[in-house]
Amino acid sequence: MKADRLVATLLLLQARGRVTVREVAQELEVSERTARRDLEALTTAGVPVYSQRGRGGGWSLVGGARTDLTGFTSREIGALFLAAGPLSASPELRAALRKLMRAVPAPMRPHAEAAAKAILIDGVDWSRTAGGGGPHQHTLERAVLDGEQVRLGYAPPDRAPGERTVHPLGLVSKAGRWYLVAGTEEGLRTFRLGRVTSATRTGEPVRRPENFDLAAAWRELAAEVEQRLTAATVRARADRDALPVLRQLLGGRLRTGEAQIDGRVEFTADGPSVEVLAAQLAGLGSRVEVLDPPEARESLVRLGRSLTAVYGGRGEEARLDSHFPLGTYYTEDVSVPVMAANHG
DSSP secondary structure letters along 102-131: HHS-GGGHHHHHHHHTS-----B-TT--B-
Share of the chain above pLDDT 70, in %: 75
Is the pLDDT assigned to residue 262 strictly greater than 70? yes
Give me the pLDDT at residue 312, please.
75
Min mean pLDDT across 265-269, 307-311, 334-338 is at 334-338
Average pLDDT, the chain: 79
Angular region, 251: left φ>0, alpha ψ -120 to 50, beta rest: left
Give me the pLDDT at residue 154, please.
94
Using only C-alpha atoms, the chain has a radius of gyration, in whole angstroms, of: 29
Dist CA 291 CA 255 (whole Å): 15
Give me the pLDDT at residue 334, please.
43
Helix (H) or strand (E) holding 50: strand 49-52
Min mean pLDDT across 57-66, 105-114, 193-202 is at 57-66
Dist CA 60 CA 221 (whole Å): 51
Dist CA 115 CA 109 (whole Å): 10
Is the pLDDT assigned to residue 65 strictly greater than 60? no
Q: Are 103 and 15 within 8 A, CB to CB?
A: yes
Compute CA 13 distance to the chain's CA centroid, rounded to the nearest angstrom.
35
Give me the pLDDT at residue 270, please.
94
Give me the pLDDT at residue 336, please.
45
Residue 124: band (very low, low, confident or very high) from pLDDT cuts 50, 70, 90: low
Give me the pLDDT at residue 333, please.
46
Residue 323: band (very low, low, confident or very high) from pLDDT cuts 50, 70, 90: very low
| SS3 call for 231 | coil
In degrees and rounded to multiples of 5, residue 252 shows phi and psi of -70, -5
Give me the pLDDT at residue 74, please.
66
Give me the pLDDT at residue 339, please.
40
Q: What is the mean pLDDT of residues 160-183?
A: 90
Min mean pLDDT across 61-75, 153-167, 296-310 is at 61-75
Which tops the pLDDT comparison, 216 or 50? 216
- Beta strand 177-184 with 162-174 is antiparallel
Give me the pLDDT at residue 85, please.
57
Compute CA 208 distance to the chain's CA centroid, rounded to the nearest angstrom.
22
Is the pLDDT assigned to residue 150 strictly greater than 70? yes
Which tops the pLDDT comparison, 124 or 157? 157
Helix (H) or strand (E) holding 288: strand 288-292
Dist CA 112 CA 109 (whole Å): 5
Share of the chain above pLDDT 90, in %: 28
Cα torsion 156, 159, 162, 164: sign: negative
Per-residue pLDDT of 66-122, as tens digits, reads: 545 556 666 777 777 766 655 445 666 667 777 777 767 676 777 777 777 776 666
First to last CA, the chain: 32
241: which residues sit within 8 A by CB, 6+ positions away? Answer: 287
Q: What is the mean pLDDT of residues 34-41?
A: 86
Residues in the chain: 344
Dist CA 229 CA 252 (whole Å): 12
